[in-house]
Amino acid sequence: MTAPSYKRILLKLSGEVLMGEGGLAIDPAVTARVAQEIADAKEQGFELCVVVGGGNIFRGMAGAARGMDRATGDYMGMLATVMNALAVQNALEQINVQTRVQSAIPMASVCEPFIRRRAMRHLEKGRVVIFAAGTGSPFFTTDSGAALRAAEMKCDALFKGTSVDGVYDADPKTVPTAKRYETVSYDTVLADNLKVMDASAIALCRDNDIPIVVFNIRDHGNLAAVLAGEGISTTVK
């Protein structure tokens, strides 16, 4: 496989990738390992934007299922992503990677507000920009936030780090013959309802020609390998 010619990438991490074995929402050792993956990608010469989810702490849907107002729950979910973003920033700075956190919900004493031009400047200066609070609006997810930021920041690809090594034609946990796609079209993902990201995120990537690379972030060194065109992944394009 030849290495794709990406320069600027957006890495989407689910909040769950920061969780440890003991059920700790943000496990420092796990977060440090994820930070090292990001540092290694940076070392390879990529410009990196990061969007972190909040599912390890709170999801608005879960609140709504227990009778909470959905929008209120979603705001709580967005605040959870800010905590995760700060944890990732902290872990990156401990290994001397320069970062900035920008939040879609302004909170001036905690981090910068999202300002596209300023984020561009950070990237040019070699900083990793971590986008928090998703889109800033309820009824969306951080997948949609990631697709939106990838388009705004002119990223060449959206890398979705999960705990599976790509997109399968059936659930590999229950169907032993399930096959992993090397590449699959946006339209197949949407039509077959393949679990990659939510439909609005897929459609936004499709409409802006942003390939989505799905890979397992839990495999040590896999992000660097996938970026070099060697690791295991599925590209949605």
Does residue 140 touch ligand UDP according to CB under 6 A?
Answer: yes
Query: Whose CB is nearest to ligand UDP?
Result: 53
Stretch 81-120: interaction string toward ligand UDP, x if CB under 6 A: x---------------------------------------
Does residue 137 touch ligand UDP according to CB under 6 A?
Answer: yes
List 31, 36, 135, 162, residue binding ligand UDP (CB under 6 A): 135
List 138, 156, 188, 228, residue binding ligand UDP (CB under 6 A): 138
Q: Which is nearer to ligand UDP, 110 or 175 (CB)?
A: 110
Q: Which of 28, 69, 43, 47 is nearest to 159 (CA)?
A: 47
- Per CB under 6 A, the segment of 130-138, 173-181, 208-216, 226-234 that binds ligand UDP is 130-138
Does residue 161 touch ligand UDP according to CB under 6 A?
Answer: no
Query: Annotated binding residue at 27?
Result: no
Q: Which is nearer to ligand UDP, 55 or 166 (CB)?
A: 55
SS (H, E, C) the chain: CCCCCCCEEEEEECHHHHCCCCCCCCCHHHHHHHHHHHHHHHHCCCEEEEEECCCCCCCHHHHHHCCCCHHHHHHHHHHHHHHHHHHHHHHHHHCCCCEEEEECCCCCCCCEECCHHHHHHHHHCCCEEEEECCCCCCCCCHHHHHHHHHHHCCCCEEEEEECCCCCECCCCCCCCCCCECCEECHHHHHHCCCCCCCHHHHHHHHHCCCCEEEEECCCCCHHHHHHCCCCCEEEEC
Q: What are the distances in angstroms from CA 198 to CA 53, 59, 92? A: 13, 15, 28
Q: Which is nearer to ligand UDP, 23 or 45 (CB)?
A: 23
Query: Annotated binding residue at 211?
Result: no
Kindly identify the residues of this chain, within the stretch 44-73, that bind ligand UDP according to CB under 6 A. Answer: 53-55, 59-61, 73
Query: Annotated binding residue at 235?
Result: no
Annotated binding site for ATP: 12-15, 55, 59, 162, 168, 171
Residues engaged in binding ligand UDP (CB under 6 A): 14-16, 53-55, 59-61, 73-74, 77-78, 80-81, 134-135, 137-138, 140-145
